[in-house]
Structure 1
Amino acid sequence: MKSITYGEISFEQVCEKIKEYTIKDLESDYVISVGTDSQNIDGYTKMVSVIAIVRRTKGGIFFYDIKRVKKIKNLRQKIFKETQYSIDLASKVMEFLDENRIYAALEVHVDIGINGHTKKLIREIVGWVIGSGFKCCMKPDSYTSSGIADRISKKGSKVC
């Protein structure tokens, strides 16, 4: 994974950074969110998964991973692939939080909403995320997928 602050780091190191960040202020509430967005670029699809940790009213940090996959032309398949990446990553984060007794809300942010072509996928995607044991946030509340990951996934993004 990568971080603007810490550079290239392993998932295990990301977990340690989460632990360090949450220990700094035990009185605060934390929300950890996981989201993925993708863009078709040239002959492939750029998938960007993000883990964001927000200390309510006091800012936050994020980590991201970029994968290149075979070009996905179908919107439904693309949204399902993004959601699968997010659920898989959120499951790993949840395991770490449970093992280390870190108490933070964990959300999966999906890049769908009531406006646009993705509205017909809401029941399936939200049901899948909730059925996997996570709170599901969609647009306009899905800042991790539709904000952070979206910006990094764009062609020409300064963040690599």
Structure 2
Amino acid sequence: MKSITYGEIDFNQVCNKIRIYIEKDMHSDYVISVGTDSQSVNGVTRMVSVISVIRKTKGGIFFYDITNVKKIYDLRQKLFTETQYSLDLALKVKEFIKKNHINSSFEVHIDMGYNGETNCLIKEIKGWVIGLGFKCCMKPDSYTSSTIADKISKKKYKVS
């Protein structure tokens, strides 16, 4: 994974950075969320998965991973693939949270909403996420996927 602050680090280091960040202010409320967005360019689909840690009213940190896959042409398949990437990462993060007794909300952010082409998939995707025991956030509340991951996937955000 990568971080603008910490550079290239592995998942265990990400977990350690999250733990340290939360321990600095144990009295604040936290939301940890996972989300994925993708962009198809030059025959590949760039999948960007993000873990964000928000210290409510006091900022936050995030970590991201970029994977290139064979270009996905179908919007339905693209959204299901993004969700699968998010859920795979969410399961790992949830295990870390549980193991380290971290007190925070935990959400999976999906880059879809009631306005747009993907609204017909809401019931399926949301049911899948909730069925795995996660809180599911969609636009306009899915900032991890629809803002952070979106900016990285489209290279609007200056990342290394």
Relative to the length of structure 2, the TM-score reads: 0.98
The reply on whether 1:101 has 2:101 as its aligned counterpart is yes
- 1:40 aligns to what? 40
C-alpha distance in 2 between matches for 1:158 and 1:16 = 24
Matching of residues 106-145 of structure 1 within 5 Å: 106-145=106-145
State the secondary structure of the residue aligned to 1:114.
coil
Tell me how far 1:142 sits from its aligned partner: 0.3
- Counterpart in 1 of 2:68? 68
State the shift of 1:122 in Å.
0.3
What is the match of residue 53 of structure 1? 53
Q: Identical aligned pairs, as a percentage?
A: 69
Q: Could you list the runs of 5+ residues in structure 1 that have no partner in the other structure?
A: none
Q: What is the 5 A alignment of 1:139-154?
A: 139-154=139-154
How many pairs does the alignment contain? 160
Question: Which whole-Å CA distance do the structure 1 matches of 2:157 and 2:20 have between them?
Answer: 29
1:70 CA displacement: 0.4
Runs of 4+ in 1 over 6 A off after TM superposition: none
Alignment partner of 2:36: what SS?
strand
Give, in angstroms, the shift of residue 36 of structure 1.
Answer: 0.1
Q: Contact conserved, 1:41 with 1:155, CA < 8 A, in 2?
A: no
- Structure 2 spans left out of the alignment, 5+ residues: none
Q: Tell me how far apart the structure 1 counterparts of residues 127 and 159 of structure 2 sit (CA, whole Å).
A: 32
User: Cα distance, 1:155 vs. partner?
Assistant: 4.7
Equivalent pair of 1:109/1:137 in contact (CA under 8 Å): yes
TM-score, reference length from structure 1: 0.98
Match of 1:13 in 2: 13
Cα deviation, residue 159, structure 1: 1.7
Q: CA deviation at 1:158?
A: 2.6
Deviations 1:108-146, CA, capped at 9 Å, x for gaps:
000010001010010000000000110000000000000
Q: Aligned-pair distance for 1:157?
A: 4.9
